[in-house]
């Protein structure tokens, strides 16, 4: 079968789509990448607060899917709204790698004696994520936070040009490095932020493959490359996201993962900032539905 893959045109998006394409090619299918510019890609000079963060990197791709211009769409799962557009479904989570955030910093501004966020006092750190901004302020209220936009290589180039450091998803930079994309990291230090502490965006690190619900042939093909464990964890994180997504500028993070001490158990950590107050939940159990209920009782109660 010939399968048209809708994707953003950034290096990272192309590499993610090519990984899906390789899966499909190994199954005997022919693939074609269809590059689509989204409002998020075309509005690099605006802050998320000015254009609205929910769905800004997926709407145009979903429109192409609905109109039959592409057969599937490949997304960074964290870019997707918690609820799929009408008629569309996430048929697979093809993979999930490290969900952690990282700080990429000028080495001259790093001081490991300063603890979890090891940046010197009054360092200027770039992020346009309300979640990352909230967490940074929670751990280090002396740091200066400045909005930044652009793809990963563009943001890295801005270090030393008005920024001492930036925050990125580790998955993005690792996928680029794994695919031999040249990133100028000379003089820079990468600091991984423990996702149990600096809680990531729901589904961060996961690749989602969307298709039309009625396209049963395509759906069956895509479902065959689903990572079931990653899917279950991502679905739980996104279910929590759906409870709070109405406030599009609400800082929220959630991360579901196996308990390394006993793999029969899973852990779920979540953090929410509401009315200037940080609310945090840490639960452990065997049943994801129970973890959801426990988490909601903590986040809502407080």
pLDDT at 51: 41
Catalytic status, residue 79: yes
Domain locations in the chain as residue ranges: 2-96+206-226, 101-193, 243-301
Q: Is 43 exposed, middle or buried (0-12, 13-18, 19+ CB in 10 A)?
A: middle
Nearest to 241 by CA among 133, 135, 84, 82: 82
SS3 8: coil
Label the pairing between strands 165-169 and 206-212: unpaired
Catalytic status, residue 131: yes
Helix (H) or strand (E) holding 240: helix 228-244
Residue 245 pLDDT more than 80?
A: no
Q: Which of 4, 155, 231, 271 is catalytic?
A: 155
Which of 1.10.10.10, 3.40.190.10, 3.90.1640.10, 3.40.1130.10 would CATH assign to domain 101-193? 3.40.190.10
d(CA 138, CA 132): 10
pLDDT at 248: 56
pLDDT at 204: 97
Q: Is 65 exposed, middle or buried (0-12, 13-18, 19+ CB in 10 A)?
A: buried
Catalytic status, residue 149: yes
Q: Is 105 exposed, middle or buried (0-12, 13-18, 19+ CB in 10 A)?
A: buried
The model's pLDDT over 122-152, given as tens digits with 9 standing for 90+, comes to 999 999 999 999 999 999 999 999 999 899 9
Confidence label for 50 from pLDDT (cuts 50, 70 and 90)? very low
Sign, Cα dihedral of 34, 222, 67, 86 = negative
Range with the poorest average pLDDT among 50-54, 209-213, 274-278, 287-291: 50-54
pLDDT at 40: 78
Superfamily of domain 2-96+206-226: Periplasmic binding protein-like II (3.40.190.10)
The model's pLDDT over 268-284, given as tens digits with 9 standing for 90+, comes to 999 999 888 999 999 99
Q: Which of 78, 219, 231, 238 is catalytic?
A: 78
pTM for this entry? 0.92
The model's pLDDT over 169-183, given as tens digits with 9 standing for 90+, comes to 999 999 999 988 889
The model's pLDDT over 102-128, given as tens digits with 9 standing for 90+, comes to 999 999 999 999 999 999 999 999 999
């Amino acid at each position: 079968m010939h399968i048209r893959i809708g994707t953003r045109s950034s290096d990272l998006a192309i590499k993610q789509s090519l990984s899906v394409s390789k899966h499909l090619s190994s199954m005997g299918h022919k693939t074609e990448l269809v590059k689509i510019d989204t409002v998020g890609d075309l509005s690099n000079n605006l802050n998320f607060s000015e254009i609205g963060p929910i769905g800004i990197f997926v709407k145009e791709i979903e429109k192409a899917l609905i109109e039959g211009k592409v057969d599937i769409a490949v997304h960074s799962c964290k870019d997707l709204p918690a609820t799929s557009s009408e008629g569309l479904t996430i048929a697979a989570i093809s993979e999930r790698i490290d969900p952690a955030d990282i700080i990429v910093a000028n080495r001259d501004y790093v001081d490991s004696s300063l603890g979890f966020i090891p940046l010197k006092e009054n360092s200027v750190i770039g992020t346009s994520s309300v979640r990352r901004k909230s967490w940074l302020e929670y751990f280090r209220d002396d740091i200066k936070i400045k909005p930044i936009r652009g793809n990963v290589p563009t943001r890295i180039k801005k270090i030393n040009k008005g920024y001492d450091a930036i925050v990125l998803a580790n998955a993005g930079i690792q996928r680029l490095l794994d695919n031999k994309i040249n990133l100028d990291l000379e003089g820079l230090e990468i600091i991984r932020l423990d996702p149990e502490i600096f809680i990531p965006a729901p589904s961060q690190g996961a690749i989602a493959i969307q298709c039309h619900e009625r396209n049963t042939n395509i759906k069956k093909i895509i479902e065959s490359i689903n990572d079931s464990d990653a899917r279950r964890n991502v679905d739980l994180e996104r279910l929590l996201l759906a409870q709070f997504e109405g406030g599009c500028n609400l800082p929220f993070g959630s991360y579901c993962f196996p308990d390394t001490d006993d793999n029969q158990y899973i852990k779920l950590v979540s953090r929410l900032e509401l009315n200037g107050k940080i609310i945090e939940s840490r639960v452990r159990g065997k049943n994801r539905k129970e973890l959801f209920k426990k988490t909601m009782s903590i986040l809502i109660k407080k």
